[in-house]
Structure 1
Amino acid sequence: MADRQTRRQVVALLAGAASAGLAGCSDGAESEPTVSAGDPTPTATGTGTESTPTATETDTESTPTPEQTPSPEETPTQTEEPGTPTTNPRPAVDSYLAPADNYDGTIVDARRRSQITVGVGVEANGGPFGFGPPAVHVDNGATVLWEWTGAGGAHTVESTGDGPLDSGDAIGEPGVNYSYTFEEDGIYNYFCAPHQSLGMKGSIIVGDDYPTSE
């Protein structure tokens, strides 16, 4: 009986000592979580730092290829309208138009036009006593319209010599009161009968075959 009681006391003491040791280990430190090989690597959160973008995330301007670069525009060439100078060879009108003070040697080139208007009673020779322009070069087949301004009294359009131009009686009303279509090359000098002495003269050069100055 005494031996059996002694063994029970020893077992009880050993069991108490083991329980006390386990309790001390549990109170001393918290166990660290075990990370298994299959768990993903934890990432830090709330650090307040932004990740640096990689080269592929950075916006860069690409260098344009030759196909993308616009080629310089060609400078357009300007084409001048064709035309033969009326002064080469020069029509023989200078002597006839010398008394008209609105004639300065200029011959208006109206070629390539089907018709042209000449003013009657424009300012010249001390008043509204001129044809304007006084000298005009037209193509064969062109029509010249004489338009009265209504100033300077009554006027006429008459050829020198046996020329074809004849507007009839003197006219004072404004408007196109006379026209003529030229069908032969040459020079057609004309005047205003009431004001010829003042220098109211004009010339029409037609086509390419006409008298020229020396």
Structure 2
Amino acid sequence: MQGNTDGSQVWFDPVGLHVEPGQTIRWINLDPGNSHTATAYHPKNFERPRRIPEGAEPWDSDYLLPNESFSVTLAVEGIYDFYCVPHEHAGMVGRIIVGQPGRSSATSVSAQAAGGEAIPEIALQAFPPIDEIMRQGIVRRT
């Protein structure tokens, strides 16, 4: 979790990550001027659309102050989209791919957006492409 000194831009770095099932992901707020969250897109989190695999547990870090961290272990293969609650409208989103999700997982990401409050267009445009994450393993903010 990062941001520039005047707070005009905020982002996750990396924005895309490929991991194996059972791996633990840790977010650290390295932005000295803002609090952030790492929150899974799921109806249990503020009635947002589900954009994590069926059977996966949603998470919400709550607000992390500078230098605070939050971890989650992802066991279910698939595509996990997440966002920062106060900065989603600034495009602060990320994507984690766990294992080797099949084609149905890749095509269901858009279907998972149904229901709940609409995801802002700027956030939808900020997700890195699935094939790019699979090819590179890690996608940094450009």
Q: How big is the shift at 1:140?
A: 0.5
Q: Out of 51, 65, 69, which is 1:172 matched to?
A: 65
Runs ≥4 in structure 1, deviation > 3 angstroms?
A: none
- Are 2:93 and 1:212 equivalent residues in the alignment? no
| Aligned counterparts of 2:16 and 2:22: Cα–Cα separation in 1 | 17
Q: How big is the shift at 1:128?
A: 4.5
| Aligned counterparts of 2:94 and 2:8: Cα–Cα separation in 1 | 16
SS across alignment from 1:137: strand
Cross-structure match for 2:31: 150
- The Cα RMSD (Å) is 2.2
Conserved 8 A contact 2:3-2:34: no
Q: How big is the shift at 1:196?
A: 0.6
Conserved 8 A contact 1:145-1:179: yes
- Are 2:13 and 1:132 equivalent residues in the alignment? yes
After TM superposition, the score normalised by the length of structure 1 is 0.39
- Aligned in 2, Cα 1:202/1:152: closer, same or farther, shift over 3 Å? farther
Give structure 1 stretches of 5+ with no counterpart: 1-119
Conserved 8 A contact 1:127-1:152: no
| Aligned counterparts of 2:19 and 2:85: Cα–Cα separation in 1 | 24
| Aligned counterparts of 1:127 and 1:189: Cα–Cα separation in 2 | 23
| Aligned counterparts of 1:155 and 1:202: Cα–Cα separation in 2 | 13
Q: How big is the shift at 1:174?
A: 1.1
Cross-structure match for 2:86: 194
Give structure 2 stretches of 5+ with no counterpart: 44-51, 53-57, 108-142
SS across alignment from 2:35: coil
Cross-structure match for 1:121: 2
| Aligned counterparts of 2:38 and 2:100: Cα–Cα separation in 1 | 24
After TM superposition, the score normalised by the length of structure 2 is 0.57
